[in-house]
Structure 1
Amino acid sequence: MGAGRPGFPGGTAVSHLTVYDWPGDDGLAGGSPHLHTASGEGYVVVGGSGRLETLSADGVGSHPLTAGTVLWFTPGTVHRLVNDGGLQIVVVMQNAGLPEAGDAVFTFPDEVLADPARYAAAAALPSGPESGEDAVAASARARRDLALAGFADLRRRVEVEGPGALSSLYERAGVLVAAKVPGWQSTWQQSVRAGVDETGRVLTALAGGDASHLHAASVHVGERREQPYRYGMCGRLRTWDVAALVG
């Protein structure tokens, strides 16, 4: 992997998430429904309770979350976190760098998903020194509520039509992210793919009795990216800088 710092094991990213406690129109507190187009996601619940509502090839699902729960799902799973009280999660994301670069797509109503400019405006949060805490929070909540509106309609359709009702969302998502994919490919090649290739070289060497790579053993500490917690899709979060630094 070169002379740089190796990434977190498996080319993953790690964050600490405090799930929003804002109630939606249905009276349930929680985050913004969305899906990931290329990355799986894993949860280790460290506090509180709630559930994960999902739409996938399995139809409509609801999965309890309590301290100690370990749960993960694949790309394309529409998911909504519901916070029943104090829900905190350590999130492990596949393909570090891709989710941060737009791998996720909100479940906004179809007329928003169909217009890339309108989608981008709805997904953005205020930034810059003139954007106060209250303005960012209000925008994050409005974004969440718009995604909930689309999710509610999509859920009703999946209940009636089955998982095939997700096809339009998937098509819209593919169009929205297409232009970003070349950048994702470069990030993936330098992190996840580089780690897999290095493991292949190590196994080949070990099979031949060569353990010389062990002389390069090292320890690395990830720095906090955000101070304080920022507004994310599902709640307030902090991430760590754990990506590979290629030398």
Structure 2
Amino acid sequence: MTGYDGFPGAVGVSRLSVYDWPTVDGRPGGGTPHLHLTCSEGYVVTGGEGAVQTLTAGGFEETELRAGTVVWFTPGTIHRLVNTGELRITVVMQNDGLPEAGDAVLTLPPHLLTDPDTYAAAVRLPAGEGEAAQAEAARARRDLATRRFTELRTAVAAGDPEPLAAFHRAAAALVRPRLADWERRWREGAAAAAAATRDQLAALAAGDPGHLAAARTHATGPTATGRFGMCGRLDVYHGA
């Protein structure tokens, strides 16, 4: 029988304190606009107040966030968190491991999306230079992406779909070299979890509860704390 010991559904979990740095469009704080190419993402708001702004080919939306709100969106949704008061979120990501493997693409200007090396240099935070340098770089890339997000939003509102479509094409081209690794992660994670459920259902239908004797309990702490992420400071958990 297929076995799977990872976090339920092979999802990823992190705790997020959204940046409180004022934004280039006059908001009190907020994260970096980006999309995911293969992962749905969910927010469970645990404290504070704010909003998530989303942009798709169907248009722009802004959803208010406060403690107890749950919101999720599918791949291709450009999203940007706005922090109006100590916004804290538990983030649940489909396909644990893929977001950290490049599934997220920031809304940077077109000249920074031309190839993987150019993009990587644009989003990289300085290693070994101290927290202040990392914060400065994280804020600069956020503001750069926010300006382009605003341009894309304006184009969609004006009925011009091409800038957003061009961003989608560029994002897809950037991640193409990673797809073989992503498929392996998917097979070992979400696909393995689904296959385990299939096998357990078949066993129960046949009157065989044997897999229940192999039950286990797992516990873990964060694998990284206070990391500068796209949207804020992150405590990251990996359960796969």
Shorter-chain TM-score tier: over 0.9
Is the alpha carbon distance of 1:7 and 1:82 closer, same or farther for their aligned partners in structure 2, counting shifts above 3 Å? same
Instruction: Report SS of the residue matched to 1:72.
Output: strand
**1:166 maps to 2:164:** yes
CA apart distance, 1:164: 5.6
TM-score, reference length from structure 2:
0.96
Aligned to 1:90: 90
Unaligned runs of 5+ in 1: none
Instruction: Report SS of the residue matched to 1:221.
Output: coil
Instruction: Report SS of the residue matched to 1:229.
Output: strand
Which of 203, 211, 214 in structure 2 is aligned with 1:213?
211
Instruction: State the distance in 1 between where 2:179 and 2:20 align.
Output: 33
Q: Which moved more, 1:9-18 or 1:165-174?
A: 165-174
CA apart distance, 1:163: 5.2
Q: Is the 8 A contact 1:58 1:163 kept in 2?
A: no
Instruction: State the distance in 2 between where 1:45 and 1:223 align.
Output: 20
**1:46 maps to 2:43:** no
Instruction: Report SS of the residue matched to 2:49.
Output: strand
Give the residue type in structure 2 aligned to 1:140.
A
TM-score, reference length from structure 1:
0.93
Instruction: Report SS of the residue matched to 1:43.
Output: strand
Give the residue type in structure 2 aligned to 1:41.
E
Is the alpha carbon distance of 1:215 and 1:119 closer, same or farther for their aligned partners in structure 2, counting shifts above 3 Å? same
Aligned to 1:27: 26
Q: Is the 8 A contact 1:32 1:80 kept in 2?
A: yes
Q: Is the 8 A contact 1:225 1:241 kept in 2?
A: yes
Q: Is the 8 A contact 2:17 2:233 kept in 1?
A: yes
Alignment of 1:1-247 (within 5 A): 6-28=5-27, 29-128=29-128, 131-161=129-159, 165-226=163-224, 228-243=225-240
CA apart distance, 1:24: 1.3
CA apart distance, 1:165: 4.4
Give the residue type in structure 2 aligned to 1:166.
L
**Percent identity for Structure 1 against Structure 2:** 51
Instruction: State the distance in 2 between where 1:52 and 1:79 align.
Output: 7
Unaligned runs of 5+ in 2: none
CA apart distance, 1:127: 1.1
Number of aligned residue pairs: give it: 239
Instruction: Report SS of the residue matched to 2:50.
Output: strand
Give the residue type in structure 2 aligned to 1:174.
A
Give the residue type in structure 2 aligned to 1:229.
G
CA apart distance, 1:114: 2.4
Give the residue type in structure 2 aligned to 1:14.
V
